[in-house]
Each structure stands twice: as structure tokens, then as C-alpha cells.
A = this chain, B = another copy of it.
Amino acid sequence: MPIESRRDVFQAIADPTRRQIIELIAGKEMNLNTITENFNISRPAISQHIKILNECGIIEIEQIGRERYCKIQPKNLKIAADWIQQYSVLWEQKIDSFEKYLNKLQTKNKKR
């Protein structure tokens, strides 16, 4: 499997450093070195995270002179949000009704 196709939003936000980067630039766009100052890892490491976030469409990069400003592009972040949100029915007050729904399904197939 090519490396490109393995990269999706879910994998992108799986890494805690990348989530921190998202949190950091959500409030204010930043260039790469400024982002790096907020972490204890090397600039190339941050650069690689930025590349991944960019390839997944989570951040946009605007080059100004020699600086690259990163800002959030939420389109693809929404994909992950939508997937999880499917299950919001499970943790909201609708839990009771979901259990009824489950039971109904389970009595159809008389398993267990």
C-alpha cells in the first residue's frame, strides 16, 4: 500500500504532537519556526508533522517570502468529526432508546 493512501485524517490526529499543533494554530496562524518553539522536538520533526497535516488537508500553508504560515483548514477535520458524531446517539440522553433499538435487533435474531 503506498504511503500516501494510508494517510487519512484519523491517522493524522492519532499523534498527540499533531493534535497539539492543531490546537496551537487554531487560534492564530503561525510559521514553522514559531510552532517549533512550542515543542521539545527538532524543527525537521515539526516540518514532517506539518507535511502530514497538510497532505491530509487539515492545514493550509501560505508561503510568504521564506516563511510558511500554517493555518487550519477544517474541511477534512469535519470528516473525522462526522464519523464520530454518528455515535453521539450512544452517549447522549438517547442511550435508553438506543438500548431498546439494540434489543429489538437482538430479538429478531434469537442469538445468545
If A81-B84, A84-B81 touch, does A105 touch B27 (CB 8 Å cutoff)? yes
- The secondary structure that dominates the A interface is helix
State A90–B13 Cα separation when bound (angstroms). Answer: 16
Q: How many copies does the complex hold?
A: 2
Chain B residues within an 8 Å CB radius of A74: 87, 90-91
Known: A27-B102, A27-B105, A75-B91. 14 other contacts (CB 8 A): A10-B14, A19-B83, A22-B87, A26-B90, A28-B106, A29-B102, A72-B87, A72-B90, A77-B84, A78-B91, A80-B84, A81-B81, A81-B88, A85-B85
7 A-B pairs (CB sep. < 8 Å): A10-B14, A13-B84, A19-B83, A26-B87, A74-B87, A77-B84, A81-B84
